Structure 1
Amino acid sequence: MRDILSDLDLGDDKLTDPVREAQTGLNKPLPNRFYKEAAVVEGEEGGFVVALDGKPVRTPSRQPLGVPHRGLAEAIAAEWQAQGDKINPATMPLTRMVNTAIDGVTAAQEEVFEEILRYGGSDLLCYRADAPEGLVARESELWDPYLDWASSMGARLVLSEGIVHVEQPPEAIRAIATLLRRYATPLQLTALHTITSLTGSLVLALALAEGQGEPSEIWAAAHVDEDYNIAQWGEDHEAAESRAKRQLDFEAAHLILLAHRA
């Protein structure tokens, strides 16, 4: 099998915005599909590897594209199997995240941990609108339950109106860090980084990982302001397309977390 990943932007050596990665890939000519079947095989060193016509796929750094859980590997293989005449990285979020985890996060886990934790100091849920009344009420309705849960775990965060920065108590950040330490594998950290960056909230990302809300509920909580504006003024077509792409990455990251809970 020729080195397909030398032609595709399906991963990076550092964590970046998954939507930007997909958009970058869209700017390049898409390679032709050259294989008939994507399947899962057992890895030589354990785990499960995606194979194209029986030949294992490799990451850009030439590592086997493998994961510890068969179900997750089958979902990745399904991304490859679903490709048409062209291979489109924008439709392969699991593949991109696994590449990032293997090639980038494995060698920089503590740096990625600290990058995720920094979101706790400026969490979306802590910055509240002061008007209009309907938006204020909606933020409180959707956000307060997650802040209450975080508080029950020792992370009592301070709220602010508008965009004025508020310093969070050190003990709250330490409690969040303790929660985050539960997710120690490169793949888990990659998934949490993706969810945190997409939602703007480490509290929401951890709540999703801990099973404290349905994915649809947490996605809605992350888009309270946007949905309120849509209800008032209507939806922009390009913005809707961008949101749909982000949601695909969100759902793929959640699938990674679910596989590790199984």
Structure 2
Amino acid sequence: MLSISIAFTRLLRTTCPSCNRFQSYATRKRFYRGTSVIQSDNKWEITLDHRRLKTPNGRTLAVDSEPLARAIAAEWDAQTEHIAQPTMHLTALCNTALDNPGKLTSHDIATYLLDYFSTDTLLFYSEDERELQVLQEKKWTPVLDWFEKRFNVKQEVATGLLPPPVTNDTRAVLARYLLSYNFTALSAMSFGVEALKSPILMLACVERHIEPKDAVLLARLEEEYQLMRWGRVPWAHELNQAELTSRVAASLLVIHSSVEKHSAKAKATAEEQSQ
């Protein structure tokens, strides 16, 4: 996973002039020369010129995973003259999980995600354009089939404008799955779902069934169909696609770091018990 931080650095150090639009959101210039990562009490912290990085509420930004900490450091290291905060998804995700400005619980986020399922993009096929509907059936049906098989559920698609029902059994299965993740991972999952407008696509990414870039293309299938018919602006749509992909990738890095940390702890405990 250490190579992920390198990939993030390359992505964030883009020379695309269109990305300069993010600088209008910057509230301060870069005030540090270098970044580093240190370990403290089984946590990993990020430093800016040897000063600990803090959350907006003043807490030390500490994470459980060294690769995640290094990826966050790469975000800060990739900043140039201004700190473009809208591009720093990993930092924002970890800040939100630590500060929890909404005072949410894991059950709150799980309930939100469960309610989102009935509006999932993949459950609404076009009724006006037959060609688009055929394309959606070709691209979306394999993912829906995977979802039903993976969670042993049956999920209807929408007919007309009414959202499809999500049965109590399906909600129960998904609730158990979602609540197996900690608060930080659930918060990141919510961020990815909102980017894709699809819990099913996000779960497929979490389970490593599809890649983030493929999930974004599936989420944007109708838009891509219209662009094929009417043309596209040379750079704008690609920039939007890259931005959505970076959001989903950041969410996955936080989620997988959380899962791998939990697995490592469980394995260590089992080994200790056998001694």
TM-score range for the pair, normalised by the shorter chain length? 0.7 to 0.9
Q: Which residue of 1 aligns with 2:152?
A: 154
Q: CA deviation at 1:121?
A: 2.3
Q: CA deviation at 1:207?
A: 1.4
Name the CA distance, whole Å, in 1 between partners of 2:74 and 2:26.
Answer: 22
Q: Which runs of 5+ in 1 are unaligned?
A: 1-24
Q: Are 1:39 and 2:36 counterparts?
A: yes
Q: Which residue of 2 aligns with 1:221?
A: 218
The residue matched to 1:139 in structure 2 has which SS? helix
Q: 1:253 aligns with which of 248, 251, 254?
A: 251
The residue matched to 2:47 in structure 1 has which SS? strand
Q: 1:94 aligns with which of 84, 90, 93?
A: 90
Range 126-135 or range 241-250, more displaced? 241-250
Q: CA deviation at 1:259?
A: 2.2
Q: Which residue of 2 aligns with 1:196?
A: 193
Name the CA distance, whole Å, in 1 between partners of 2:104 and 2:249.
Answer: 24
Could you tell me whether the CA contact under 8 Å between 1:38 and 1:77 is conserved in 2? yes
Q: Are 1:80 and 2:96 counterparts?
A: no
Name the CA distance, whole Å, in 1 between partners of 2:189 and 2:134.
Answer: 28
**Aligned residues: CA RMSD:** 2.2
Name the CA distance, whole Å, in 1 between partners of 2:23 and 2:117.
Answer: 32
Q: Identify if the C-alpha distance between structure 1 residues 205 and 66 changes in structure 2 by more than 3 Å, giving closer, same or farther.
A: same
Letter in 1 for 2:88: M
Q: Which residue of 2 aligns with 1:9?
A: none
Letter in 2 for 1:224: L
Q: 1:129 aligns with which of 122, 126, 131?
A: 126
Q: Which residue of 2 aligns with 1:113?
A: 110
Name the CA distance, whole Å, in 1 between partners of 2:120 and 2:173.
Answer: 14
Aligned identity (percent) is 25
Q: CA deviation at 1:211?
A: 1.5
Letter in 2 for 1:134: E
Name the CA distance, whole Å, in 1 between partners of 2:212 and 2:237.
Answer: 20
Name the CA distance, whole Å, in 2 between partners of 1:42 and 1:233.
Answer: 53
Q: CA deviation at 1:69?
A: 0.4
Q: CA deviation at 1:245?
A: 2.4
Could you tell me whether the CA contact under 8 Å between 2:196 and 2:244 is conserved in 1? no
Q: Which residue of 2 aligns with 1:66?
A: 62
Name the CA distance, whole Å, in 1 between partners of 2:36 and 2:110.
Answer: 32
Q: Which residue of 2 aligns with 1:182?
A: 180
Q: Identify if the C-alpha distance between structure 1 residues 235 and 163 changes in structure 2 by more than 3 Å, giving closer, same or farther.
A: farther
Give the TM-score, by structure 2 length.
0.79
Name the CA distance, whole Å, in 1 between partners of 2:121 and 2:25.
Answer: 34
Q: Which residue of 1 aligns with 2:205?
A: 208
Q: Which residue of 1 aligns with 2:230?
A: 233
Name the CA distance, whole Å, in 1 between partners of 2:123 and 2:62.
Answer: 38
Q: Which residue of 2 aligns with 1:50?
A: 46
Could you tell me whether the CA contact under 8 Å between 2:23 and 2:82 is conserved in 1? no
Give the total of aligned pairs.
Answer: 237
Q: Identify if the C-alpha distance between structure 1 residues 125 and 180 changes in structure 2 by more than 3 Å, giving closer, same or farther.
A: same
Q: Which residue of 1 aligns with 2:168?
A: 170
Q: Which residue of 1 aligns with 2:4?
A: none
Q: Identify if the C-alpha distance between structure 1 residues 50 and 100 changes in structure 2 by more than 3 Å, giving closer, same or farther.
A: same
Letter in 1 for 2:70: E
By percentage of residues, which structure has more helix? 2
